[in-house]
Amino acid sequence: MTMKRQVLVSLVLLAAIGGAIAAWRTLGPAGPAATPPGQGGPTPVEIITAETRVIQERIEAVGTTRAHAAIDVRPLAGGRLVALGFAPGDKVAAGAMLARLDDETERADVAEAEAVLVEASQALERARRLRPSQTVTQSTLDELEARRNAAQAALDRARKALSERTIRAPFAGVTGFREYDVGARVSDGDLLTTLDDLSEMEIAFMVPERHYGALSLGQAVEATTRAFPGQRFEARVTHIDTRIGEASRAFRVRALLPNPGERLPAGLSMNLSLPAQPREAVVLPEEAVLSEAGNGVVYALQDGRVKRRAVTLGLRLPDAVEIQAGLNAGETVVRSGLQRLRDGSPVRVLGAAPAGRPDKG
């Protein structure tokens, strides 16, 4: 066989092999072309009917404790500290002396004002006795009475200035650290210490605006804190703000927490949980809902075919998920086999799955 004939035979064989491979790829091992997905028979699926349940959502929040009453103790006047009536952490009664400034000048002012008042009062009394005999004119009597009143006002001011030299507790509470020692000179407004009434604690927290109608005064609040692991505290809602923050879209809430033994300090972070008012909601099992980019998708059954529908998801329950919008109670959706479906796909129902039992909240 000549070289030219060998090359020709080789080319014919290569062409035959290439044709066989192309035919195999086109027809497949079974011969005819495979049926594209979705164009064969109906897809077998299980279905379920959306139902309505009464659910009770729990609102979770983080709050901060505040003393039932709390102040910064600051003097109203300046001077030298001559006495401190507390130690850090002392429990003091209402009216107890916390600090005293030097008051020699103020005491002298009081004594002077008292003497002036006595003199003015005596002069007025003599004029009143002489008035019936016309020895003293009415205008003189009026002048003496005004002088007596001015002396009384001066004495009141002097006594007020003297009282401001002693700082007393306006309510019973626990004192903080000493910021100054005896002998130090302080100015009006300087912080001497703090005073907190820790018999009850107020918990301040924020709640999203969608829960505004779900809270009520007196509602129970369960509180926990990392400072006391494993312990639960119960508070009660005492105040609900009448305004919603424009930036935060949340509103302020206050709850009162008993504090026996004054164990809890002010400023403590607490995790809060409180039940919202029960409400009716449309629910579906989790497996009947596809999650796509944070949104939900279901396949509703209509005349033997499925319709892809976007839904708004809400609260997640132990055995179901809330459908806030996009689906009504009583509508039928596919429960299983969702990944094989496309919008408009024909389906064959294998059997309806039983609806879940009502949620107890």
* pLDDT tens column, 56-99: 778 899 999 999 899 999 999 999 999 999 999 999 999 999 99
Per-residue confidence band for 349, with pLDDT thresholds at 50, 70 and 90: confident
**Mean of all residue pLDDT scores within the chain:** 84
Given its phi and psi angles, is residue 330 left (phi above 0), alpha (psi -120 to 50 degrees) or beta? left
* pLDDT tens digits for range 333-345: 888 877 788 888 8
Compute the distance between CA of residue 292 and CA of residue 247 in angstroms, rounded to an integer.
Answer: 28
Give yes or no for a contact between 109 and 162, defined as CB atoms under 8 angstroms apart.
yes
**CATH no. for 79-186:** 1.10.287.470
Q: Count the neighbouring beta carbons within 10 Å of the beta carbon of residue 316.
A: 11
309 forms bridges with which residues in the sheet? Answer: 298
60-68+197-275: CATH topology is Elongation Factor Tu (Ef-tu); domain 3 (2.40.30)
3-class SS at 20? helix
Q: Count the neighbouring beta carbons within 10 Å of the beta carbon of residue 313.
A: 17
**Measured torsion, CA atoms of residues 30, 33, 37, 43, in degrees rounded to the nearest 10:** -50
290 forms bridges with which residues in the sheet? Answer: 297
Give yes or no for a contact between 312 and 284, defined as CB atoms under 8 angstroms apart.
no
3-class SS at 58? strand
Give the model's pLDDT for residue 357.
Answer: 42
Which of these ranges, 29-38, 41-50, 149-158, has the smallest mean pLDDT?
29-38
Give the model's pLDDT for residue 360.
Answer: 41
Kind plus residue range of the DSSP H or E element containing 295: strand 295-302
**CATH no. for 43-55+279-352:** 2.40.420.20
The yes-or-no verdict on residue 11 having pLDDT over 70 is no
Between 52 and 65, where is the model more confident?
A: 65
Compute the distance between CA of residue 56 and CA of residue 277 in angstroms, rounded to an integer.
Answer: 6
The yes-or-no verdict on residue 12 having pLDDT over 80 is no
Give yes or no for a contact between 168 and 95, defined as CB atoms under 8 angstroms apart.
yes
Between 75 and 349, where is the model more confident?
A: 75
3-class SS at 361? coil
* pLDDT tens digits for range 96-146: 999 999 999 999 999 999 999 999 999 999 888 887 887 778 888 889 999
Q: Give, in order, the Cα–Cα distances in Å from 180 to each of 184, 253, 284.
A: 6, 37, 66
* pLDDT tens digits for range 142-185: 899 999 999 999 999 999 999 999 999 999 999 999 999 999 99
* pLDDT tens digits for range 197-225: 999 999 999 999 988 888 889 999 999 99
In this prediction the pTM is 0.61
Give the model's pLDDT for residue 45.
Answer: 80
Give the model's pLDDT for residue 200.
Answer: 93
